[in-house]
Structure 1
Amino acid sequence: MSVTTVKWTVADYHRIIAAGILEGRKVELIGGEIIEMAPEGESHAYCSDEAGEYLIYLLGDRAKVRQGKPITLPLNNSEPEPDIAVIQRLGQNYREHHPYPENIFWLIEYSNSTLTKDLGIKNKIYAAAGIAEYWVVNLRTMELIVFRDPTDAGYQFRETLTHGNINPLAFPNVSVAIDRLFGN
């Protein structure tokens, strides 16, 4: 006997949430599957929070920095909750929908226990959705892994940094201190 897994659409997922079935559970929709999210450890919570505040200060009115909130990737039936999403300022439009790929400048995930997922399935869905830039902060090694040039098969560019500055593609005149992403 073969087993078939039910794949959920974003619309299905929203109906499940509205019905209260997932109340009190930390989950996200990834590739049509409802996945439980790992709890945040102290280092993860501290570093992502500090980086979020730093980026808010650094970017000012140029972009909105959302921390731990959903984004909607309709083409691959996903609604992940990246640690940081740097998005267009669309004000009350976000009352009607979470940011779509065309609203996203770049995403950042902080990884310790979720490193395999963040470098694997999340990397693939973000690239397939056309997210121009994706950063993974590896909390085990204190490295920033930068992905750029998305294709349906994944990102074509990968670079690992441990110090210095980086200029996001969407804001080439903004210099982000890598140490500040590590909470330093």
Structure 2
Amino acid sequence: MATLVEPTVSQDSFRRFSLDEYHWLIEHGFFQDNERVELIGGLLHQMSPEGPRHVAAIDRLLHLFFSRVGDRALVRVQHPILLPESNSEPEPDLVLAKRREDFYGSAHPVATDIILVVEVAASSLLEDRQLKVPVYAAAGIAEYWIVNLVEDQIEVYQEPTIPAKGAPYYHQHLRFSAQDRVHPANFPDWVIPVEAVLPPRSE
């Protein structure tokens, strides 16, 4: 989950970083230990603080996925994924990745390693829709979920499409409310009640 700080001038005037430059900054301690940033389209984005419902939604998904996954995939939480197609290295809230013996110890997962990306969104909902959708579609991420805590829904994006003109997008976009059930496209037997993912609201 990331919060985009709206610039007062065109983004074209900002200094864009390559992935190599971003990795150099990390390796040389440019960021503070408690500072969470991600690279999106060559720009550094500060990740917003996590409220209790955001954390609870991640934990609920983890519980549901771990109870089903077995040896079929790896469940990764808030770890980087490498998307050179869009000069990006986001850190999604949750990723289902293909199993690898080294657990990606030699390199972060790339799009072809990824089964599903999940972002949990409250204050970041606009950014997770408008910023992340074209980034993930451009990389060819097959499936992207937004756990929408504003409207208590899960938004499912499938069939990434790169048009001749305009931004990449997902051809299929479905919304599931609390009474519905969802499953990852690759795992149709993982039927998950949406209400089991959505934390209750405080009174």
TM-score bracket, normalised by the shorter chain, equals over 0.9
Decide which of 8, 26, 30 is 2:17's aligned counterpart. Answer: 8
Aligned to 1:56: 66
Q: Deviations over 1:136-179 (max 9, x none)?
A: 01111210111111012211111111122223111123222222
Report the 3-state secondary structure (helix = DSSP H, G, I; strand = E; otherwise coil) of the residue aligned with 2:104.
Answer: helix
Shift, 1:93, TM fit: 5.3
Q: Distance in 1 between matches of 2:13 and 2:137?
A: 26
RMSD: 1.6
Matches within 5 A, 1:108-123: 108-123=118-133
Structure 1 residue ranges without an equivalent (≥5): none
* Contact 2:64–2:192 (8 Å) recurs in 1: no
Count of residue pairs the alignment pairs up: 183
Which secondary structure does the structure 2 equivalent of 1:81 belong to? Answer: coil
* Structure 1 residue 53, shift from structure 2 partner: 2.1
Aligned partners of 1:97 and 1:119: how far apart in 2? 27
Match of 1:154 in 2: 169
Matched, 1:140 2:156: no
Q: Give the Cα separation in 2 of the matches to 1:40 and 1:118.
A: 15
State the distance in 1 between where 2:153 and 2:70 align: 25
Pick which of 162-171 and 6-15 moved more: 162-171
- Which residue of 28, 31, 36 maps to 1:19? 28
Instruction: Give the aligned residue type for 2:197.
Output: L
C-alpha distance in structure 1 between counterparts of 2:71 and 2:38, whole Å: 29
Regions of 4+ moved over 6 Å: none
Measure, in 2, the Cα distance between the counterparts of 1:119 and 1:47: 18
- Pick one of 68, 78, 81 that aligns with 1:71: 81
Mean CA deviation greater in 158-167 or 119-128: 158-167
Q: Does residue 178 of structure 1 match 2:197?
A: no
Please list every run of 5 or more consecutive structure 2 residues that lacks an aligned counterpart in the other structure. 1-9, 163-167
The code of the aligned residue for 1:50 comes to R
How many angstroms does 1:61 deviate by? 1.2
TM-score, with length taken from structure 2: 0.85
Write 1 or 2 for the structure with the bigger share of helix: 1
Amino acid paired to 2:180: G
